[in-house]
Amino acid sequence: KQEVTQIPAALSVPEGENLVLNCSFTDSAIYNLQWFRQDPGKGLTSLLLIQSSQREQTSGRLNASLDKSSGRSTLYIAASQPGDSATYLCAVRTKTSYDKVIFGPGTSLSVIP
Amino acid sequence: GAVVSQHPSRVICKSGTSVKIECRSLDFQATTMFWYRQFPKQSLMLMATSNEGSKATYEQGVEKDKFLINHASLTLSTLTVTSAHPEDSSFYICSAELAGGHRYQETQYFGPGTRLLVL
């Protein structure tokens, strides 16, 4: 059974810092991994999607890496801004279990001005 | 990008009543839609997978007679919470996949969510 964990659970940083969010998954048989952002009381916004054959994806100040063999992904946020404050969720689409998408518990990020 | 809408965005109802939530893909056709539930300060939990024209597939522990799902067209799926109780209060989010193409490479597009409060 696929399990997804995220470290840290919460993070508070001063504006301008670079930061790394971590995601781990137990079953490496995945199709893809996706990072989302969720603002309080809102739905999900897709940030980056990495296919299993890829090692990283970049969008603006965001960079996500994938090491499928070790079951890890990182989301790197450069030059953090207060507007980056949100909960960040990673989700893997697993080849087993009827190709379900399994979400991690999320990392709550607070960027202090 | 692809847009998914949900209606209503928020609903308050009395215990014992039924509530219907709609999920629509606005500018694309979706063969498959997914329904998730999110309790406060927790992550999303998949409830069921909805395929157009066929019965939904429910996750273990989700009562199919309580959470009725109808995927009548390629742009609409509905979730009906029957005889709702306070413990059903939650944030319900749907997502949709583009029809056709390489399915497992497709991203899911998420709706904005529906907050249900059962009194």
The helix (H) or strand (E) run that includes residue B114 is strand B114-118
Measured between alpha carbons, how far is B85 from B64 in angstroms, rounded to an integer?
15
Q: Which of A23, A31, A38, A44 to mutate to test the interface with B (most CBs of B within 10 A)?
A: A44
List A residues 18-77 in contact with B (Cβ-Cβ < 8 A): 31-32, 34, 36, 41-46, 49, 51
Mean local confidence (pLDDT), A23-28: 95
Q: pLDDT at position B105, please?
A: 53
The answer to whether B93 contacts A93, with C-beta atoms less than 8 Å apart, is: no
List B residues 60-89 in contact with A (Cβ-Cβ < 8 A): none
Q: Is B44 on the interface with A (CB under 8 A)?
A: yes
Evaluate if residue B108 carries a pLDDT over 90. no
Q: Is A105 on the interface with B (CB under 8 A)?
A: yes
Measured between alpha carbons, how far is A23 from A6 in angstroms, rounded to an integer?
4
| pLDDT band at residue B64 using 50, 70 and 90 as cut-offs | very high
Mean local confidence (pLDDT), B70-95: 93
A vs B, Cβ pairs < 8 A, gives 50
- Sheet containing strand A56-59, edge to edge, reads A4-7, A19-25, A72-77, A62-67, A56-59
The answer to whether B105 contacts A103, with C-beta atoms less than 8 Å apart, is: no
pLDDT tens for residues A40-62?
888 888 899 999 999 999 999 99
pLDDT tens for residues A60-106?
999 999 999 999 999 999 999 999 999 999 999 888 765 678 899 99
Which of B83, B71, B79 shows the shortest CA–CA distance to B36? B79
Q: Is B8 on the interface with A (CB under 8 A)?
A: no
pLDDT tens for residues A10-20?
999 999 999 99
The answer to whether B111 contacts A49, with C-beta atoms less than 8 Å apart, is: no
Task: Kindly state the percentage of chain B with pLDDT values over 70.
Answer: 92
Residue A83, judged by CB atoms within 10 A of its CB (0-12, 13-18, 19+), counts as exposed
pLDDT tens for residues B12-45?
999 999 999 999 999 888 888 999 999 887 889 9
Residues of A within 8 A of B6 (CB-CB) are 43
